[in-house]
Amino acid sequence: MTVIPSDQKWFDDLVMELRLRQAQGAAIGDAVASARELLADTGQSAQEAFGLPRDYAAALELPIASDRDLVRWTVWMSLLGLLAFLLFTQTATAWAQGEPFLLSPPQLALLSAPAVLVACLPLYLSAAIRKRWPLVLAVLLCAVTGALSAVVAPATRAEAWLALDPAPLMIGSAGAMVLFSVMSTIRTRRRGDIDDIVDPLAPGPARRTVSARVIPVLTDWLFPILALFTLGQILLLVR
């Protein structure tokens, strides 16, 4: 069945709203297939037949997954992982050069911006998931302030406000990244295939493709993998 583009956006929003409500993947698949069935019969647009995706998702009152707040957990882990990653890249450079990790007030202010963004996450999390651009903006701000903090890093110990041993910070941030990844992996494995959106008309039990099994694990370990890659580059540049 063909889905007109505006309806595709409606269905994307419906799936997101049902995810936010922690509906199970099978129930989401069922709701989507039911809606598509009726649209095929009536020729109506999704908006016309079902109203706003947010209202329709709320009205359906689908059974929720036992593991609540998956989306919020995922975003929290991602942003905390990003913070640990930024700290790791800052300290790894100093460590590779055998120098102390120097901090100046403007650099600290720039480094604290991502921390503030993460701390304020509860205030804009739902909006960030629904609209997406606040989340993209938050990640961009973290990346830009992280990069700028490297630019304004003091060149000499005399310019620095604080001179810290980079090794404990680097090990600590690496440990934090690994810890977040382990926690995410445990959660991913415990959930199994409960989040997979299953087409109720698909013949036989749903089989997870290799990519469907591997991608969540890769996502859970994204920051440690990036950190290893970054460390390799830093070591190559220093030598």
Q: Does 49 interact with another protein (rule: CB under 8 A)?
A: yes
Nearer to another protein by Cβ, of 31 and 92: the residue is: 31
Q: Does 59 interact with another protein (rule: CB under 8 A)?
A: yes
Phi and psi at residue 120, to the nearest 5°: -85, 5
Q: Does 38 interact with another protein (rule: CB under 8 A)?
A: yes
Applying CB under 8 A, among 6, 8, 12, 63 the residue interacting with another protein is: 63
d(CA 206, CA 223): 30
CB 51 within 8 A of CB 64: no
Give residues 183-202 in contact with another protein (rule: CB under 8 A): 200-201
Tokens at 90, concatenated: 């800052």
Three-class DSSP category at 41: helix
Q: Does 34 interact with another protein (rule: CB under 8 A)?
A: yes
Q: Does 12 interact with another protein (rule: CB under 8 A)?
A: no
Tokens at 165, concatenated: 């041993």
Q: Does 205 interact with another protein (rule: CB under 8 A)?
A: no
CA 43 to chain centroid, in Å, comes to 37
> Could you list the residues that contact another protein (CB under 8 A)?
1, 30-31, 33-42, 44, 48-51, 55-56, 59-63, 200-201
